[in-house]
Amino acid sequence: MSPRCDRARFEVEMVTILDRLYGAALRLAKNPADAEDLVAESVAKAWASLDSLEDPERFQGWIFRILTNTFIGECRKRGTVSLDKPAREEEDFSLFERLHQPMLLWWGNPEQEFLNKLLREDLRSALEGLPEVFRVVVVLSELEGFSYQEIADMLEIPIGTVRSRLARGRSLLQQAVWHHSEAGQVGAAKAGVGGDR
């Protein structure tokens, strides 16, 4: 059996993971002040319950679990947990299908052009606009690279729910990016693909 995590190891793990933890917190909390509070509160909880981490090899999953549960708890406290779907939601929205033009195969690549012009801020805004229930799963999977099983364990939900929330989150995110571009905020990429279809 692996030795329990001691203070020295906790410090080493924290140094290694702090930027990632803050990056996830920032995308969840959506502003630096709340992200700092979220990280500090999560680290304080982790430090106070260090004995509950039986296998130090699982430190990353353990600390991210504390972070996400702290975030969800805070949302519930504030009454801001949102399960609502945006008013304009379309099922299985695909940005690629909106952009792709087979006839342009040899003359251009509008979807690539769109991605090139897509600003980090546009994507950030789309991500932060997702309802919390989807944003948490997208952050853990797409930004942090956790497996579906690890996310299911962290959030204590079935793996099928992880998969469906991720699919819905991805669809909503692509839809938000598209609507953002319709408002003319993603450069002129769309102008080159003939507008909405």
Partner 1 sequence: MIDRPVINCETALQQLADYLNRELEPAEHDAVEQHVRLCHACFSRAEFERLLKERLTDLGREEAPARVQARIRKILGDGRWSQS
Q: Please, which of residues 64-103 interact with partner 1 by CB under 8 A? A: 95-96, 99-100, 102
Does residue 130 touch partner 1 according to CB under 8 A?
no
The long-range contacts involving 179-185, CB below 8 angstroms and separated by at least 24 positions, are: 179/88, 180/122, 180/125, 180/126, 181/114, 181/122, 185/122
Does residue 145 touch partner 1 according to CB under 8 A?
yes
- Residue 184 Cα to chain centre, angstroms: 24
Q: Which stretch binds partner 1 (CB under 8 A): 52-60, 64-72, 139-147, 179-187?
A: 139-147
- 128: nearest Cα among 118, 136, 119: 136
Q: Which stretch binds partner 1 (CB under 8 A): 65-73, 80-88, 129-137, 168-176?
A: 168-176
Name the CA dihedral angle for 34, 39, 42, 44, rounded to a multiple of 10 degrees.
Answer: -110
Does residue 142 touch partner 1 according to CB under 8 A?
yes
Among 5, 66, 137, 139, binds partner 1 (CB under 8 A): 139
> Which residues lie below 8 Å from residue 170, measured CB to CB, with a gap of 6+?
138, 142
13, 59 contact by CB (below 8 A): yes
Which C-beta is closer to partner 1: that of 48 or that of 87? Answer: 48
Binding mask 11-30 for partner 1 (x = CB under 8 A): x--xx--xxxxxxx-xx---
Place of tokens 């944003």: 135
Which C-beta is closer to partner 1: that of 27 or that of 180? Answer: 27
Does residue 163 touch partner 1 according to CB under 8 A?
yes
4, 51 contact by CB (below 8 A): yes
- Interface residues with partner 1 (CB under 8 A) are 7, 10-11, 14-15, 18-24, 26-27, 32, 36, 39-40, 43-44, 47, 95-96, 99-100, 102, 111-112, 115, 118, 120, 123-124, 127, 138-139, 141-145, 147-148, 163, 166-167, 170, 173-174
